[in-house]
Structure 1
């Protein structure tokens, strides 16, 4: 093999792989990883690497080199609600936060419900993206016949709710609502034929609706009332039903934002039986409890709601044993004006929190606290997402993969300050405000190009590219 020309060498760092950490230099050429070369005991870096010439060097001494995060669950509000977020500001926040690929939900105006609306969304957002992105399709009771054409267009997965549309929901929510068993089963069969993953928001519609009505009748308007209207049993029942029906359809099922120990156990049992079921956890459910966040009122309102200590402990156990496969932020930004309505009436405030610039620092802090290791972390924020969603050139540090990586300083202290973040509606990101961290993203590279450094954007809009599952034409 001849010499590699115009190679970028990430030299002197410690490379985090899914099973170990190695002292190695990473070679990047044409946006791909061209090699990972372990260093000799002498520690010489960037010199004499085999087959390279005209190389440029990034000094990563003292830093960890990790695969960039694949955020499996974002709502970037574009098109439809630019006062809450745009694809540009959302992917800018992702880049600064160490996220190199985002998977965008089918919400928006118009909602993604067929091939035409999928292509329209891609046309709108593509020129704004700072990091790579995939686009979900919607699977609901009104568009089951349109599932195959969305997959053919390039939908990375399908999102469905086991709830009817809430009052005030964006138009088109029906195209991702499956509130009864018959429509759920039909959609699972249609998704199974595409080979894509069915990602499901699993809460019992009848339990939640009944309890919410009771709370309102009693005059309960507080955050805890919202949580009590969506109790753990509502998730456990829905997860069990989703597993049963998806199994009958032989569909690949993933449970979004799992939040209870009972639901984790349902997934654990399904995996033990050999069913193709995976699960996502979100940082707000891993790091916050209802009791510790109750003072934030509507700014801590999210679906499923924040839980208490026992469920948080069960989520970490599920991460530890592999029951929970990957982490997504469920970044769902709203403005202060949206959220403040909930101080007097929690039911009038929308559910959702920010997360793009908080998730990686929070998880690095958890590593420093001994909750998980760096190899484990790279599995749950990068490798497993690439495997589940068929994005095999993303989220992995190996030869031939896209050079999507972050440089991490594990010792750098910090405090999460929303005022310095990049989301349009950052002033409403109160859930994470003031949280101390140890471990920081120093730089983010997407296909070998620097897109963010030390909390500042360095990339250009349009650098981000659409990703499709492997095997897509």
Structure 2
């Protein structure tokens, strides 16, 4: 009689105590035991000789927009791509058509994802009308967090951004205070609407088809001022504030100055850590992302912020548009669709940083998984320990990941030019969700396997400290 469903043998296993040469037993979708080499009996054995066994990535910033816009990808296509990229849980942002801004919309999206997802998923909601009744109802629906923008809704997309865009500072304060009552995080895309308008006004005679015009239209001061105001407001509001996709040295300096003043955290993304505006020039409109990819000095500051524990999360901001939409916007870099697919870049890029000695494996996986589980109060995820959910990846640090339209599974492979030709040291060999293989060089899972993840109701983690 087998003791376990599966035993993964001969890997180097990243545990909370560090890398250990143990075998890992899975049962009932959880980690059942960490065993001495060769011990235990199971129905299935996976030989992972020469590989690292790591917690699956928790991507806390992902846009599929389903069930709207299937021409940009579906839950099936994008969760399969995420699995191939080593992501076992993603948090879907509330931008859809219409916006996910009520408890009813949360339930509709939950049902859609539950039917189609290959990996675990959590949902963000927009705080909508900011009334306590509505905001609390969405929290009761099991969302992981709320999201707002400090910028106006893009032209023609009001229904996608209703209750999500709050360019007025008074409304931003109301949102912080309303969400604080739920004990859930509030994630903010922070750029000053007024300074963005000023920058665009200064470009009245600029060639907007030139890719440089995008960077000029969203200077770093726009991000830094918005972040500074939010952090100052949060001293009074007392929310669990999270700053999305930090891009600039100027914003890093703001985060440093406000350290310890309130409960806040910050993230950045691979396109800011591994690409600069010179790469954007080569990729053109396909590399237009808001906020923009900036200069080498900004990239250096982001890595230093990671080293110092100022930035504690790395996430994709996976945001795909169709090829036709991107090409159609090339004549105006200010209004062209912003976003790039990143589901299959996130983990390989950070493994490459480990291979190059820029960061330790322990810290990389804290940035990709453990810190997200702690910040968003998912105590059974983000670590390999008995009783935790068996969401994990096997990686070969001696193999390479090559990015091209032929290697990508995302529906948006034709707009991933920012990473075409990239080669990363380290490759995802297998992705396991709740104890079952969903990727092993190809997709093996099934639609609907992914579980809806929610924080314990009205609970505060016993230890929410992030790994700097």
TM-score range, shorter chain: over 0.9
Unaligned 5+ runs, structure 1: 40-44
Instruction: Mark the CA change 1:61 to 1:162 in structure 2 (over 3 Å): closer, same or farther.
Output: same
What is the deviation of 1:396?
1.1
What TM-score does the superposition give when structure 1 sets the normalisation length? 0.94
Q: Helix, strand or coil for the counterpart of 2:61?
A: strand
The structural deviation recorded for 1:145 is 5.4
Q: Which residue number in structure 1 is paired with residue 466 of structure 2?
A: none
- Show the counterpart of 2:427: 440
Secondary structure, aligned partner of 1:409: strand
Give the whole-Å Cα distance in 2 for the aligned partners of 1:139 and 1:288.
33
Judge conservation of contact 2:16–2:385 (CA < 8 Å) in 1: no
Residue 24 (structure 1) aligns with: 22
CA displacement at 1:87 relative to structure 2: 0.9
- Equivalent-residue separation in structure 1 for 2:16 and 2:221 (angstroms): 34
Tell me which residue corresponds to 1:161. Answer: 149
Aligned 1:223-242 pairs, distance under 5 A? 223-242=211-230
Selected match of 1:244 from 232, 250, 260: 232
Aligned partners of 1:421, 1:102: CA distance in 2, in Å? 18
Distance between the aligned counterparts of 1:263 and 1:446, measured in 2? 36
| Alignment match, 1:460 | 446
Q: Does 1:13 align with 2:11?
A: yes
The residue aligned with 2:59 is 71
**1:222 CA drift (Å):** 1.8
1:210 matched residue in structure 2: 198
2:89 is the alignment partner of 1:101? yes
Aligned partner of 1:295 in structure 2 is 282
Per the TM alignment, residue 143 of structure 1 is displaced from its structure 2 partner at its CA by 6.3
Q: Report the CA distance shift for 1:131/1:109 in structure 2 as closer, same or farther (over 3 A).
A: same
Please list the CA deviations of residues 391-430 of structure 1 after superposition, one character each: whole Å capped at 9, or x if unmatched: 1111111111100000000010232112332222211111
Identify the residue that residue 276 of structure 1 maps to in structure 2.
263
- Would the aligned equivalents of 1:221 and 1:346 in 2 still touch at CA under 8 Å? yes
Which is further off, 213-222 or 391-400? Answer: 213-222
Contact 2:185 / 2:241 at 8 angstroms: preserved in 1? yes
CA distance in structure 2 between the aligned counterparts of 1:357 and 1:54, rounded to whole angstroms: 31
2:418 to 423, 431, 437: 431
Deviations 1:229-283 (A, max 9, x none): 1111111101000111122111110000011122122223333x25211001111
Q: Distance in 2 between matches of 1:419 and 1:313?
A: 31
Match of 2:315 among 328, 348, 354: 328
Structure 2 CA distance, aligned partners of 1:297 and 1:169? 24
- CA offsets per residue over residues 343-398 of structure 1, 9 Å max, x none? 32223420000100111111111111111011111111010000000111111111
Post-superposition, which runs of at least 4 consecutive aligned residues in structure 1 deviate over 4 A? 140-145
**Count of residues paired in the alignment:** 459
Structure 1 position 226, deviation (Å): 1.1
Provide the C-alpha distance between the structure 2 equivalents of 1:54 and 1:423, rounded to a whole number of angstroms: 34
Corresponding residue SS for 2:71: coil
The separation in 2 between residues aligned to 1:172 and 1:444, in whole angstroms, is: 33
The equivalent position to 2:333 in structure 1, one of 323, 342, 346, is 346
Tell me how far apart the structure 1 counterparts of residues 16 and 305 of structure 2 sit (CA, whole Å): 18
Partners of 1:219 and 1:68 in 2: how far apart? 44
Superposed, 1:300-315 pairs within 5 Å as: 300-315=287-302
Task: Say if 2:9 and 2:23, in contact at 8 Å, map to a contact too.
Answer: yes
1:55, CA displacement in angstroms? 4.2
Residue 267, structure 1, aligned to residue 265, structure 2: no
TM norm structure 2: 0.94
Match among 357, 360, 372 for residue 385 of structure 1? 372
What's the secondary structure of 1:340's corresponding residue? helix
| 1:202-227 Cα distance to aligned partner (Å, 9 max, x none) | 11111112212321443433221111
**Pairing partner for 1:130 from 96, 113, 118:** 118
CA contact (8 A) 1:141 1:178 kept: no
Rounded Cα–Cα distance in structure 2 between residues aligned with 1:223 and 1:140: 34
Q: CA deviation at 1:18?
A: 4.7
Alignment of 1:177-216 (within 5 A): 177-216=165-204
